[in-house]
Chain A
């Protein structure tokens, strides 16, 4: 299936999802759905770098929060429409992703991973010390109750996140089937051999880092409107770091389907769990699942299914 066709089909699916959700008389569907979709974007973004090229980013929270805080910053200057904020969030996070990649990607993947972890801590420190965006006290964003054409504001946010999800999935799938995707795979499989075969590994890695960071920033940009009151501890929260890794690793890292499955499964489970058990236990389970899958089923659910069907075919 060619990419433009996939794109159109995804839009159609998204439209069906949206209108089906509207049929449910409870707005909670939109709140929960927004969170799950947000994770789909984050997981897909992480996988472009981690799954396709093999470079692990532990600081997803940093890129996500950058998008959120870019929104807060701009909101104080002049309230812009959210689609525009999504673009600016993407640009800010993309630039930071590029910068960090430029500094650390020439070295081993391990150094890049460590740098991303430290980046999250540092950015949080910077934000906590920056009163203009609220510092440790946090920032309020007043969101309207309704918006023209759509109705309740949360439905508008949900719709935007749906659009972003379609965008992210189309990009991920498009890359996978393109020459770029081939290049990414060679970097993951054997970077030295890739270079020897003519693959410009640094350039490709920078593309992956920038794209991945940008998508995460885009996912973060509407977050202040969703949550109303943004604190550093929630923007840089633990759940973003672990989920953006766990969801692709559990779903399967070699294809765009993996992060989607992982995000929908784990995201929904967590929505249920947070309501029934505590959120800390819920995170613990995600962490344990991550460790278990990494040891036992390294190719994730997609890998398990592929192995099962291959076994059946014999």
Chain B
């Protein structure tokens, strides 16, 4: 069996006295669709931050594509193929919507060895991405003109623009309508079919169940379940964690 694309082993993170993550082990195989769920404050975003290098974990290692990435800065990990969207959208406020997408194209895609995109190819790629998430008519607007939902779509598009091997989508669907949720799930599945491994962090259970081949559950910084969706949601500990809050 080929080694997993992403391996996290014994990862812990504290903030002062507060233990945010306690010895997390997980693995994601190439091409998988994994759902990551858990109550608010369980450490999901902290885990993402540690995987991406935005935060430095105290113990444990992160291996991506066979390489230990612990010593790499965030932008180096992005260039190696890990992209993420932020739970609270963080757009570049002085750049246009299209401009926001140019950044990962210029600094990640063009920074990788091989054919760099020409200016026309860049523009075409921007337009394509905007079309995919339904923001084509907002291309020249500034992020402050967007609705919350549109900003989340921009977040997702910006992560996609980095042409990742592994895409971590952090609560991209909050506030979306029923059909919009289906649209995004469909989009993510299509991306997955193109070969992108995806970790979906979501509270909308319908989307998680529809999308995931496997679900990982985080509660209070510990992994309490990891398996097929039907098995996991019937797990008594998982039920307790969700009903208990």
Contacts and interface: CB of A to CB of B under 8 A. Distances in A.
Contacts of B158: 193, 197
Contacts of B104: 197-198
Interface stretch (A17-25, A57-65, A183-191, A261-269): A183-191
Contacts of A195: 53-54, 73-75, 78
A196 B92 contact: no
A185 B94 contact: yes
A90 B155 CA distance: 41
A215 to B, nearest CB: 23
Contact of A179 (B78, B95, B106): B106
Contact of A182 (B79, B90, B103): B103
Interface in A191-206: 192-202
B170 to A, nearest CB: 11
Contact of A185 (B73, B78, B92): B92
A201 B74 CA distance: 10
Contacts of A47: none
Interface string B78-110: 110001101000111111000100111011100
Contact of B90 (A188, A190, A254): A190
Given A193-B90, A198-B104, 4 more contacts: A182-B103, A186-B103, A196-B54, A197-B158
Given A182-B102, A182-B106, A183-B107, A198 B90 contact: no
Given A179-B106, A186-B92, A190-B92, A198 B86 contact: no
B162 interface: yes
B111 interface: yes
Contacts of A198: 75, 78-79, 103-104, 107-108, 111, 162
Contacts of A183: 103, 106-107
Nearest to B95: A185
B11 interface: no
A199 B75 contact: yes
Nearest to B79: A198
A192 B95 CA distance: 16
B166 to A, nearest CB: 13
A193 B94 contact: no
B52 interface: yes
Given A185-B95, A190-B93, A201-B75, A196 B107 contact: no
B94 A197 contact: no
Contacts of A200: 73, 75, 107
* Residue from the set A186, A188, A193 with the largest chain B CB neighbour count within 10 Å: A193
A199 B94 contact: no
Interface in A28-48: none
Contacts of B103: 182-183, 186, 194, 197-199
Contacts, number: 80
A192 B87 CA distance: 13
A188 B92 CA distance: 9
Interface residues of B, number: 29
Contacts of B86: 192-193, 196
Nearest to B112: A198
Contacts of B159: 196
A183 B83 CA distance: 18
Contacts of B79: 198
Q: Top 5 closest A-B pairs, CB basis?
A: A198-B108, A198-B107, A195-B74, A193-B90, A189-B92
Interface in B92-142: 92-95, 99, 102-104, 106-108, 111
B143 to A, nearest CB: 9
Nearest to B107: A198
Nearest to B93: A189
A196 B95 contact: no
Interface in B156-204: 158-159, 161-162
A190 B52 contact: no
A183 B75 CA distance: 12
A196 B73 CA distance: 9
A231 B138 CA distance: 57
A186 to B, nearest CB: 5
Nearest to A201: B75
Nearest to A202: B73
A147 to B, nearest CB: 45
A189 B95 CA distance: 9
Interface in B224-242: none
Contacts of A254: 94
Nearest to A199: B107
Nearest to A198: B108
A182 B96 CA distance: 11
Interface in B29-80: 52-54, 73-75, 78-79
Nearest to B86: A193
A197 B109 CA distance: 10
Contact of B54 (A189, A192, A197): A192
